[in-house]
Amino acid sequence: MKASEAAEVGRVVGETLLGTARRSGKVSGVILDRGYRAASRVAGPAHRDQVDRVHRAHRDVTARAGRAMGRGLRAVGRGITRVGVRFADGRPVVEEHGAYQAVSVLNGLYGDRLQQQHSPLSLPMAVRAQGRDVPASPEGLHAAYPEATGLIVVFLHGLIETDDWWDIRSDRNWGHPGENYSRRLRAEGTWTPVRVRYNTGLRVSDNGQQLDDLLDALVAGWPVPVRGLVLVGHSMGGLVLHSALAQTLPERRWAHLVRSTVTIGTPHQGAAIARGVARLNPALARLPGTRWLADVIASRPAGMGDLGHGNLLAQDWQGLDPGALTAPAGTVPLAAGIRHCVVIGTVPSKRDGLVAGWVGDLLVRPADARLAADRGEVDPRDIRVVGGARHLDLLNHPAVFVHLSEWLADAARRSPDGHPAPE
């Protein structure tokens, strides 16, 4: 870890601890006040002044203790900074697996604020290969992809995830370690897999703009002429890729090369669970004992708010009530001339049952994950349901790969306009 990153870890840890302590103090204060009010009623008018004096004294002591604790927690943050800086090895945090995963969670929870503060822990969007960020330049891409083909499949992870999450649960889902979609595609030799990492705490529309720029640079700097692109996104990643397609300019070459999109466990219609949490917030804010929780929910990152409504563009969220029960009607049309495919997960193996429709993959329901087949933009046959799979299972699952392979094989045979692809 670099010294600057270690120092920032100390600052963020100190602030987080302090915020937690303050919220705990508010809860304790509410309980304390309620206790003394009850005691005052029991004591009656004759002893109310005595109870109030004790109450004020108790509250003063508590406030002093809170301030002392605040100073102590700030000192903890400074101590972490000093230790971290002393033992910093100079390697970027994005090259240290454990630290990288922790920072990705931090970005998912506070990513918008980290970017606003120009924090060195704010993760920029980047191509990733072999545990490192890859410059989207001819030199960087040639070094990272020496056996590049003219067909690229781009993988985008979801909220709080990183590019490494495409490797998870290989033992359980495949029966042996190290298996994943990228490894299988490299072995087949037709498509070159490229993983992209981004700050999941940012607005989907902001990440869509960044992806637009990155894909433009990727195509321009690729070692061989690019003949086709397929974009694959898990959860939030599916929203980001559709946002990029909706915002790109006609002169951007990459968009004309896209043959298919594949979204996996993506809440296109908005995630009901996210809207439900937001809906509770006004009620929580009205009660002194739960106001702290309302503050926590209200401070969630912008990207997490977009998940509740399936927002793609800035106009989707500007002026939107975050507590609304229903998602927008889906006014952003899907990119034309592209095959749009969807994978939906359900925990129950029986994919079409009542329970499967209700729980989905535990985070996204089938109804939330469906693209607008009724508008003719998606072939209903390209909406596939994988039973017995939880949300994270979909990142690395043999049944998902069966569908992905089918769509990639078709995409390799045709150009974006539906005609046979040139060799």
Q: What pLDDT sits at residue 87? A: 47
Q: Give the burial class of 117: count Cβ atoms within 10 A of its Cβ; 0-12 exposed, 13-18 middle, 19 or more buried.
A: middle
For residue range 8-23, what is the model confidence (pLDDT) as tens digits? 555 555 565 445 545 5
Q: What pLDDT sits at residue 302? A: 76
For residue range 256-267, what is the model confidence (pLDDT) as tens digits? 999 999 999 999
Q: Give the burial class of 373: count Cβ atoms within 10 A of its Cβ; 0-12 exposed, 13-18 middle, 19 or more buried.
A: middle
More confident residue, 374 or 181: 181
More confident residue, 368 or 85: 368
Separation in Å, CA 339 to CA 192, 308, 344, 353, 361? 19, 25, 17, 28, 24
- Name the token pair of 283: 């009620």
For residue range 154-190, what is the model confidence (pLDDT) as tens digits? 999 999 999 999 999 999 999 988 999 999 999 999 9
CA distance 103 to 93: 8
Report whether 221 contacts 143 (CB < 8 A).
no
Report whether 388 contacts 351 (CB < 8 A).
no
Q: What pLDDT sits at residue 324? A: 52
For residue range 398-407, what is the model confidence (pLDDT) as tens digits? 999 999 999 9
Q: Above 80 in pLDDT, residue 390? A: yes
Q: What pLDDT sits at residue 227? A: 96
Of 400, 352, 372, 363, nearest to 233 by C-alpha is 400
What average pLDDT does the segment 304-321 reach? 80
DSSP state of 249: -
The pLDDT confidence band at residue 35, using thresholds 50, 70 and 90, is low
Q: What percent of the chain has pLDDT over 70?
A: 66
Lowest mean pLDDT among 91-95, 276-280, 404-408: 276-280
How many alpha carbons fall within 13 Å on the CB side of residue 79? Answer: 6
The pLDDT confidence band at residue 339, using thresholds 50, 70 and 90, is very high
Q: What pLDDT sits at residue 252? A: 95
- Name the token pair of 384: 């596939």
Q: One-letter amino acid identity for 395?
A: L
- Name the token pair of 303: 């990207």
Compute the CA torsion angle 406, 409, 411, 414 (nearest 10 deg). -130
3-state secondary structure of 350: coil
Q: Does domain 126-270+326-412 sit in CATH 3.30.70.2190?
A: no
How many alpha carbons fall within 13 Å on the CB side of residue 292? Answer: 14
CA distance 21 to 15: 10
By 3-state DSSP, what share of the chain in percent is helix, strand and coil, each rounded to 5? 55, 10, 35
More confident residue, 64 or 284: 64
CA distance 48 to 39: 9
